[in-house]
Chain A
Amino acid sequence: MKSINPVGGPFTHDRVSVGKTMSLVMLALLPATFFGFYLYGWPAIFLFSVTVLAALLAEAGSLYIAGKPVRPFLLDGSAILTGWLLAMTLPPWAPWWIGVVGAFLAIIVGKHVFGGIGQNLFNPAMVARVALLISFPLEMTLWISPQPLMATGSPGFFESLLITFSNSFHIDSVSSASVLSHIKTELSRDIPLEQTLDSTYGLIPSVLGITAGSMGETSSIFILAGGLFLLMKRIISWHIPFSMIMTIAVISTLFNWYDPSRYAGASIHLFSGASMLGAFFIATDLVTSPVTRLGQIIFGIGCGLLVYTIRTWAAYPEGMGFAVLLMNAVTPLIDHYIRPRIYGRDGKGKPVQYPENIGAEK
């Protein structure tokens, strides 16, 4: 593995590397990230920085303990990306230690326990996110309505330091529910869905992301732009995002059509919560998704079904983390059974046969 002077071909290479792949994903995340910074102000920026730094620290430490070369792996960008994705799914005004604990969970438990890059079964960012949600339900569901950077009434730099780094600031005053959790609470109070939505939900703000939610999840439009960029650059293929989005759309439309007062429609499901981020950036994580196209479609459909099921019938209003982790667990199975058809062989691996008698041996 160490030889830099290969004796076998090919003796040329595409201009690709792990670092480049990771950089392109980060580039694709930039618009949504900056929009999140803008929307939720300094506390979001602080939390993001702390999370990414903690991820790098955890990576360096893990590599060192495992006796692996630290520099090349640290520079491949995978740890930054994990921290980055985790930060995107956190409540933007969560305290600093949420980011740190999360990053450590992601890198150490989610990745290095399995043997490091490429070996992990589960998406590290989602491992952390779900673990945090179960351990710290309060901090992890404290959403705020947008407090744009520099806008009047938004916290300034120093005030923001207090929000992120000390417990002295009570953010209850600006807290607000995310669309999905709001729907859930109101439904549990037997208030019909139409009524709830009438008063609170607007499609346009939801698509743009000007609503309460995680730091980088809310802006469907920026995430979509990043996702399309990744598709264009062929870092991801359309199979997972497309099948996942279609599944959510179809199933939510069906239920909504059956009983609109209990089941939210496709637009709400697609443009709220982590749907878009999940479809383009989380479920498509290279390491933990299937490698064949058919496998990816099955994976996408599975994620879509699970997200809808958890959101609608389980105790959590947001199901992306759970859905992706469950499907991650199925990935080895999918990859075992779904294989591409080999050239010159049929689906069962037998050599192809042609009915006509061409070229038959005389």
Chain B
Amino acid sequence: MPIRGLKLFKIRGGVHPNANKDATHDKPITDLPIPELLRIPLLQHIGSPAEPVVKRGEHVLKGQLLARPQGVISAPVHAPTSGRIISIGKFQAPHPSGLPVMTITLKSDGKDEWVDSDAVTDPFDMEPAEIAEKVSDAGIVGMGGATFPSAVKLGLGNRYQLEKLIINGAECEPYLTCDDRLMQESADEIIDGIRIMIHTLGVKEAIIAIEKNKPGAINAISVAAADYPEIKVIGVPVQYPMGSEKHLTQTLTGKETPARALTADLGIVVHNVATAYAIHQALRQSKPLLSRIVTVTGGAISKPGNFRALIGTPVSHFIEHCGGLTEEPAKLLLGGPMMGQPLPSTKAPIIKGSGGILALTEKELRLKNPSPCIRCASCVNVCPCGLLPLEMASHARAGDLEGAADFGLMDCISCGSCSYVCPSHIPLVQYFNYAKGALTEKQRAQHKQEEIKRLIAARAERMEKQKQAKREAMARRKAEMAEKKKQQSEASA
């Protein structure tokens, strides 16, 4: 049910980059043909990588488990189509670290043959824990780019008193229209997914938040939600980073998520629209997460569009399908221009969290050589987290990590608003990412050192105890011997 009168709250700062969505916002989703080779990284989510359960040379069917989760925060990976595993090894994958990750390479047999799937039960007859397990088994992760395993979030009801589910349809990243299209074309499925989530979490209501620049999506979702009074639809202001989970929550409730905590502390869980769609598919059709919608656009793409593509499809396959490149792109990205990752090569595959492939031209990047900070305070004014980016950057640059942390480095969400407005074109976020990594590393090292110290101390203690025991044993034996001697001498006497 669409709502008007719901009070919206302002969030601090933010920017209004050019939306650049015109090239694709009216392009319906089409199926991308199955590529010959698929590369499926085993780490497509936050947490530990999945562990392969197939061997090289094995033939697999579509939907078959390729790798199972390891640990609590992890997600399984399935075969996007049928074919043969031709290798399991490290590959340059789209991952923030830029380091190679374990990847399964699958050669499609062209048959796209499904594995036998489980029988479908009505999710509303299922226990929440069962549903969460199905979601976990389907390998669903946050599809908005955060890629946090969804089942973990669905299980939060066990630990927190939850009130509300917020569905994130803001899509505040420029260029991307994949969520917009999905909402317009699959509104009923999304609403069904949301109802399943409401049931699983045990919350009273769900609010779907969509940025006001997507009237088509607001309309379609409102129509689909009309019969369900517990589901509300609301248009939120067009402002980057509206799609940040914590900021969207603040817009809708006026409450800030406490630092270092989860929105669940406010009784709220946030899921992306595409995640709702994936949950619908997993529960109603017993289909694991095998594909996603990807917007392919940017000044260097001949024919931009929206595609439903298998996870693991190489970027080059998309580009070919879009009529190739009009010029050599200055930057190739996976995701949006604000928070997306640069791609090492067009061989890299798309993963579960990839909403877009962007081939940007020099003109779109608006690159300039960085110059010294003029303390213009633009970055301070736009930071949605109330930080002092200029101070954080200058400390990080000087190698003073603690100083940067003191200014709130670990509260930074890397949204890029500060870099976006900096007239001196200082790569602020780059400094922050570097400093965050270094700081985490340092803390880990420190932790390790303490651990080693503890181990050494424990060992020393153990040794000491052993020695003590030896000494005691020796003393005892001596005493015994003496006793014996005494007895002998007494006896001989």
Contact = CB atoms under 8 A, between A and B. Distances in A.
A and B found bound together: yes
A1 B388 CA distance: 19
A339 B380 CA distance: 10
B7 interface: no
A342 B260 contact: no
A11 interface: yes
Interface string A334-362: 00000111111100000111100111111
A17 B380 contact: no
B424 A352 contact: no
A67 interface: no
Interface string B349-388: 0000000001010001111111111111110110111111
Contact of A8 (B407, B425, B429): B429
B293 to A, nearest CB: 21
A351 B259 contact: yes
B64 to A, nearest CB: 36
Contact of B366 (A7, A12, A119, A361): A12
Q: Identify the interface centre among B15, B376, B384, B433: most chain A CB within 10 Å of its CB.
A: B376
Interface string B144-180: 0000000000000011111100000000001000000
Contact of A362 (B17, B161, B369, B373): B161
B423 A359 contact: no
Interface stretch (A132-140, A175-183, A285-293): A285-293
B353 to A, nearest CB: 15
A9 B331 CA distance: 11
A250 B387 CA distance: 33
A72 B372 CA distance: 12
B421 to A, nearest CB: 5
Contact of B367 (A4, A339, A340): A4
A18 B424 contact: yes
A314 interface: no
A343 B384 contact: yes
B246 A344 contact: yes
B374 A118 contact: yes
A351 B410 CA distance: 13
A286 B258 contact: no
B372 A354 contact: no
A42 to B, nearest CB: 34
Contacts of A357: 161
Contact of A351 (B260, B340, B372, B388): B260
A288 B375 CA distance: 8
B127 interface: no
A117 interface: yes
B370 A8 contact: no
A170 interface: no
A352 B250 CA distance: 13
Nearest to B390: A291
A7 B421 contact: no
A351 B260 CA distance: 8
Nearest to A290: B377
Interface residues of B, number: 78
Contact of A344 (B160, B259, B425): B259
B128 interface: no
Nearest to A340: B386
B337 interface: yes
Given A9-B338, A13-B425, A343-B386, A360 B261 contact: no
Q: Identify the interface centre among A117, A341, A345: most chain B CB within 10 Å of its CB.
A: A345
Contacts of A288: 375
B105 interface: no
B483 interface: no
A67 to B, nearest CB: 15
A2 B338 CA distance: 21
A12 B420 contact: yes
B264 interface: yes
A291 B375 contact: yes
B160 A359 contact: yes
Q: Identify the interface centre among A4, A9, A344, A357: most chain B CB within 10 Å of its CB.
A: A9
Q: Identify the interface centre among A21, A339, A344: most chain B CB within 10 Å of its CB.
A: A344
B401 interface: no
A21 B388 contact: no
Q: Is the interface of A mostly helix, strand, loop or mixed?
A: loop
A286 B375 contact: yes
B377 A344 contact: no
Contact of B385 (A12, A291, A342): A342
A3 B427 CA distance: 9
A14 interface: yes
Q: Identify the interface centre among B246, B264, B386: most chain A CB within 10 Å of its CB.
A: B386
A10 interface: yes
A104 B291 CA distance: 66
B255 interface: yes
A287 B374 contact: yes
A12 to B, nearest CB: 4
A287 B158 CA distance: 52
A340 B380 CA distance: 8
Given A291-B390, A344-B257, A286 B369 contact: no
B258 A292 contact: no
B476 to A, nearest CB: 54
A167 B387 CA distance: 55
Nearest to A296: B377
A78 B246 CA distance: 39
Interface of A: 1-18, 20-21, 72-73, 76, 78, 116-119, 237, 286-289, 291-293, 339-345, 351-354, 357-362
Given A17-B424, A18-B423, 9 more contacts: A2-B369, A8-B427, A8-B429, A12-B17, A12-B337, A340-B386, A352-B259, A358-B267, A359-B267
The 6 closest A-B pairs by CB, nearest first: A8-B430, A359-B267, A10-B416, A344-B259, A351-B258, A291-B377
24 contacts: A4-B369, A8-B430, A9-B337, A9-B340, A12-B174, A13-B368, A14-B15, A14-B366, A16-B423, A21-B376, A21-B423, A76-B371, A118-B374, A339-B407, A340-B380, A340-B386, A343-B384, A344-B259, A351-B259, A352-B256, A359-B265, A359-B266, A359-B267, A360-B265
Interface of B: 12, 15, 17-18, 98, 158-163, 174, 246-247, 255-261, 264-268, 331, 333, 337-342, 358, 360, 364-378, 380-381, 383-388, 390, 397, 407-408, 411, 414, 416, 419-425, 427, 429-430, 433-434
